[in-house]
């Protein structure tokens, strides 16, 4: 390969990276400028946490309940997960709006790198999740629910939150790209919300019974929340961090694979 071809290849990569960054910033700013898109993901988890902490404060004395400073500390990871679940459909619904308004077709017909259109939406979801996780950790800390693993654990929670947001955004993008409808994309939110509740998000599975316990133990959210909670209530644990990141990555790879196939299908029909 000649120096000229190497330079052209490198320049294409640089241009694609710049376009991806620009579309990520666009997606992030679009969310930030519309409080209705991100405020529920902050307010609702905090309200729910306050209600649960008041109602179930004595539950921490149960024999099977993990040792925690407070119930509020126990549900910190769940509050972050709730916030991400609330905003999980935003990337997909925004993509659907671009399709409905014709902006998607204009992007495709322009000399923009094709992958940057999809990655930009995912990047916007990741940035919003990082912001949510930091804000919620600060609020919970102010009310006496610290992350026992310190700064490292806080960074770990942000990483896990970002990966989970990417995973959930992937599913939203699948619906958006296949239907081109913002309403259909928003309709997937209740399914995610129910899945969050049928998990260990708000109570240990050891204290559940029957089919609910079986479903909660097999729920991927439980497999992510439990090790994340260990970082909050116990301290730093590489195996807990690895499990949370590993499972979240698997879900993200699966959802992004589906969304990329849907994206190729949309491009072929555009």
3-state secondary structure of 242: helix
pLDDT tens, residue by residue, 73-125: 999 999 998 888 877 778 888 888 888 888 888 888 887 888 888 888 899 89
> Mean pLDDT for the chain?
86
Residue 10: pLDDT band by 50, 70, 90 thresholds?
Answer: low
Q: How far apart are CA 74 and CA 37, in angstroms?
A: 27
Q: Domain spans of the chain?
A: 21-269
45: tokens are 């988890």
pLDDT tens, residue by residue, 182-213: 888 887 777 888 888 899 888 898 888 899 88
Q: How far apart are CA 261 and CA 12, in angstroms?
A: 23
Question: Sign of torsion, CA 200 244 238 127?
Answer: negative
pLDDT tens, residue by residue, 42-74: 888 888 888 888 888 888 888 888 888 888 899
């Amino acid at each position: 390969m000649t120096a000229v071809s190497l330079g052209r290849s490198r320049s294409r990569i640089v241009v694609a990276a710049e376009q991806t960054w620009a579309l990520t910033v666009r997606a992030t700013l679009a969310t930030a400028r519309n409080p209705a898109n991100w405020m529920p993901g902050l307010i609702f988890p905090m309200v729910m946490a306050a209600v649960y902490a008041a109602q179930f404060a004595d539950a921490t004395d149960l024999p099977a309940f993990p040792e925690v400073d407070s119930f509020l500390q126990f549900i910190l990871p769940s509050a972050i997960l709730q916030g991400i679940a609330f905003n999980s459909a935003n990337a997909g619904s925004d993509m659907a709006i671009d399709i409905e308004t014709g902006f998607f077709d204009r992007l495709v017909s322009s000399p923009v790198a094709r992958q940057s259109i999809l990655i930009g939406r995912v990047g916007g979801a990741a940035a919003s999740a990082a912001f949510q996780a930091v804000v919620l950790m600060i609020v919970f800390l102010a009310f006496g629910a610290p992350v026992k693993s310190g700064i490292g654990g806080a960074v770990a929670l942000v990483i896990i939150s970002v990966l989970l947001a990417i995973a959930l955004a992937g599913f939203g993008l699948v619906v958006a790209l296949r239907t081109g409808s913002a309403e259909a994309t928003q309709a997937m939110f209740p399914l995610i919300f129910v899945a969050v509740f049928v998990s260990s998000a708000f109570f240990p599975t050891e204290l559940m019974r029957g089919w609910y316990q079986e479903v909660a133990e097999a729920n991927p959210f439980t497999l992510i929340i439990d090790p994340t909670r260990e970082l909050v209530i116990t301290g730093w644990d590489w195996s807990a961090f690895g499990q949370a990141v590993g499972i979240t990555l698997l879900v993200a790879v699966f959802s992004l694979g589906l969304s990329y196939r849907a994206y190729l299908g949309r491009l072929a029909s555009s």
